[in-house]
Amino acid sequence: MFSKLEGVEERFLEIEKILSDPAIVSDREAYQKYAREHSDLNEVVSVFRKYKQTVQDINDSTELLEDNEPEIKELAKSEIETLSEKKENLEEELKLLLTPRDPYDDKNVIVEIRAGTGGEEAALFASDLFRMYGRYAENRNWKIEILNQHVTGVGGLKEIIVMIHGKGAYSRFKFESGTHRVQRVPTTETQGRIHTSAVTVAVLPEADEVELHVDPSEVKVDVYRSTGPGGQSVNTTDSAVRLTHLPTGMVVTCQDEKSQLKNKNKAMKVLRARLLDNIIAEQNEKRSEERKSQIGSGDRSGRIRTYNFPQGRVTDHRIGLTLYKLEDILQGDIDGIIDELITYYQTQALQNAESLTAE
């Protein structure tokens, strides 16, 4: 690990020299590229330097154990104990920083929420989840862009697709993929019986055109008139767009904007993200189960969380976490769950990396 860290620090110093080169400074694209790499390495190098300084301090204190003065020996012994604990903590931190990182973590994210089993109650809960994610994003000063939505007559959502713009958005939302189950008494229930409904959530990293080029000749574009709840006309022009990716048969529709061009651009964002997601899924299939857990891919079709209204609790089934703060969570206070999930998957990744090294 430490030889790797020495290499990281060497690269960090090399990039610092590159960034001071006038030719690079004048080349905006090249400068941004190296500046990003410099920023990515900065945390690792900073912690590694603290680690090296701590080791040096331990060595200096160890020499003082040979001193003739008992007080100095006692002080040195106490200092070594404190520094040794600090050294262990820094070692653990370095291990985590060197754990293979999801290359899509810093990206914007597309979140698709769809009502599943449960009819109108599922659609209402889909609306609750959208509001929860929206408030969470707003608390982080991330921008929310609705790409497409299908609203039901009583204010529920049959489907909504949104893009959340913010650095690191994918790293926080990626663990939300899967089936979210709700247990509560619907407003239409006269007998007070608890119903169980389900909503599916898909989380996709944004794929820009440079990263994933879609050949226009492979996309069939259909336009039609937008419609809303009850079938009434939303507008009187053929602004809604349906894109069909011919090689895969993937279909994306968008009718949220009055402009056909805007709907087409939004639909293309979703199409690229879904195609990238397919590529990621295929790559994960080719890797071992250990590698899958490193990026927290998980089973997207599986039930991941239950929201129980009568008991006011939320349970994440992947890590066995139960919190009795349902109302706070639905108001966007989901950092506690996300942090626990990140810690769990980082620990899994660290254990897998150590086992592979041992082999």
Q: Which residues pair with 212 in a beta bridge?
A: none
**Is the model's pLDDT at 358 over the cut of 80?**
no
Q: What is the mean pLDDT of residues 343-357?
A: 68
Give the pLDDT confidence of 62-112 residue by residue, as tens digits: 988 887 888 888 898 899 999 999 999 998 888 777 776 777 888 899 999
In which residue are the tokens 């790797």 written? 4
Q: What is the mean pLDDT of residues 42-68?
A: 89
Percent of the residues in the chain that have a pLDDT greater than 70, as a whole number: 86
Give the tokens for residue 18: 């590159």
What pLDDT does residue 210 have? 58
Confidence band of 357 (pLDDT split at 50, 70, 90): very low
**Is the model's pLDDT at 184 over the cut of 70?**
yes
Among 107-116, 180-189, 209-218, 321-330, name the one with the lowest average pLDDT. 209-218
**Is the model's pLDDT at 306 over the cut of 90?**
yes
Neighbouring residues of 204: CB distance < 8 A, sequence distance ≥ 6: 109, 110, 111, 112, 273, 274, 276, 277
What pLDDT does residue 209 have? 66
Give the pLDDT confidence of 233-275 residue by residue, as tens digits: 455 567 888 899 998 888 998 887 788 888 888 888 888 888 8
Domains of the chain: 2-98 (1.20.58), 109-347 (3.30.70.1660)
Q: What is the DSSP track for 285-349?
A: HHS-HHHHHHTT---TTSEEEEEETTTTEEEETTTTEEES-HHHHHTT--HHHHHHHHHHHHHHH
Q: Indicate the SS3 state at residue 104.
A: coil
Confidence band of 190 (pLDDT split at 50, 70, 90): low
